[in-house]
Amino acid sequence: MSDLIPFKLPANLDGKPANVDHRIAIVMVVTSDTKFENYDIAIQSVRCYSRIHNYEFILAVDTDFNCEHKDNFFRRHCVSAKILPLFDAIAFLDADIGIINPKRKIEEYMQDGIDIVFYDRFYNWEVVAGSYIAKNTQYAIDLLNDFADYEFKLPNSFHGTDNGALHIFLAEKLFPNARIQIEICQQVYNKSKDYDDLFTYEACIRAIWGTGTDFGKVRIMKKGTGWARDGWLTSMLWHEDLDFMIHGWKTEQLEETPNVTIKLNQEGRNRWYNPLGGPIHLLKCSPQNMTWSYDPRLLGDKEEILKCLEKFEKEVARDQVNSYSRMTSMLSR
């Protein structure tokens, strides 16, 4: 991928870059020491996909944008807030998110009245901080900048960087009337010592949000309805009716696809198999060609995948209740 040139902001910020006919950009923000080899399959799939739909693919190095944040997890949202005004919308993706189904479109997630869309992680009750689709509106730009600036309000605890902070940040923004309830969650957040504590604080925030998805101009999509999910949830088996992007394509964790029938389970969180049939040739990626070749061993059965995911979703819902019940002991700690 030696041809990959990191994106820089145009010198004159008032004007959009010359001849931009692409209205939507897919944005990945990396640090200066990111090893691209570890994300090559994911990044190539996103680059090919971008060419198919005439999206701009933007790979940005976070130190090039004059963002003062020390923690790169917060800094990346400052960077995306600076890129957003140059387009009609951006899809911000973690570098280990790959495209599996190029027939799907970013526009599916851009509805009237919604300025920014997040989605729920499948394996717990967290909303994902590492991917969102945002429209170029002042509301969305402000939200991303304020989120990045939460770095300066972090408690001195096991706060879970941007993903932990996103919960209280959104709660304060979207539920100004819940000041007293949020304060209780904040106490637990401030005392957090490990992941169990962090998840209890997140369960506290989710209790304030309830089960809705739309909060003013912010949408938080339910589990399994967003654009990406972790591959390990289904042993990397997938189906084109269900899947669009897959999270967790780190090349160093790639394993050889077994020749025996693959069982649907959640047993290999740190490994994945490549569902693509071969390497992507960027020159063959165009609006006329949405046909990718796939490894037939990873084409799953739709009903079985749905059943497997629903079973797991029920387990997670129980875990969420158990986690919330730890509030009592944490508050008296």
Verify binding: residue 331, ligand NAG, rule CB under 6 A: no
CA 213 to chain centre: 16
Among residues 137 and 181, whose Cβ is nearest to ligand NAG?
181
Cβ atoms 324, 207 nearer than 8 A? yes
Among 137, 161, 181, 187, binds ligand NAG (CB under 6 A): 187
Query: In whole angstroms, what is the distance from residue 145 CA to residue 125 CA?
Result: 24
**Residues 258-277 contacting ligand NAG, CB under 6 A:** 258-259
Among residues 134 and 280, whose Cβ is nearest to ligand NAG?
280
Residue the block writes with tokens 């912010």: 218
Among 289, 304, 321, 331, binds ligand NAG (CB under 6 A): 289
Residue 172 Cβ vs ligand NAG, minimum distance, rounded to whole Å: 12
Verify binding: residue 213, ligand NAG, rule CB under 6 A: no
Among residues 54 and 225, whose Cβ is nearest to ligand NAG?
54
Among residues 83 and 280, whose Cβ is nearest to ligand NAG?
280
What number of CA atoms fall less than 13 Å from residue 54's CA on the CB side?
6
Cβ atoms 1, 48 nearer than 8 A? no
Opening angle at CA 183, ends 181 and 186, nearest 5: 120
Q: Is residue 80 helix, strand or coil?
A: helix
Verify binding: residue 329, ligand NAG, rule CB under 6 A: no
**Residues 99-158 contacting ligand NAG, CB under 6 A:** 155-156
CB burial class (10 A; 0-12, 13-18, 19+) of residue 217? middle
Query: In whole angstroms, what is the distance from residue 99 CA to residue 105 CA?
Result: 11
Among residues 10 and 258, whose Cβ is nearest to ligand NAG?
258
Residue 29 Cβ vs ligand NAG, minimum distance, rounded to whole Å: 25
Among residues 216 and 258, whose Cβ is nearest to ligand NAG?
258
Residue 294 Cβ vs ligand NAG, minimum distance, rounded to whole Å: 10
Verify binding: residue 12, ligand NAG, rule CB under 6 A: no
Taking residue 11's Cβ as centre, other Cβ atoms within 10 Å add up to 6
Residue 306 Cβ vs ligand NAG, minimum distance, rounded to whole Å: 27
Verify binding: residue 280, ligand NAG, rule CB under 6 A: yes
Opening angle at CA 28, ends 161 and 116, nearest 5: 70
Interface map 41-80 toward ligand NAG (x if CB under 6 A): -------x--------------------------------
Among residues 183 and 267, whose Cβ is nearest to ligand NAG?
183
Q: What is the 3-state secondary structure (H, E, C) of 204-246?
A: HHHHHHCCCCEECCEEEECCCCCCEEEHHHHCCCECCCCCCEE
Beta bridge partners of 135: 89
What residue ranges bind ligand NAG (CB under 6 A)?
Answer: 48, 155-156, 183, 186-187, 190, 256, 258-259, 280-281, 284-285, 289, 291-293
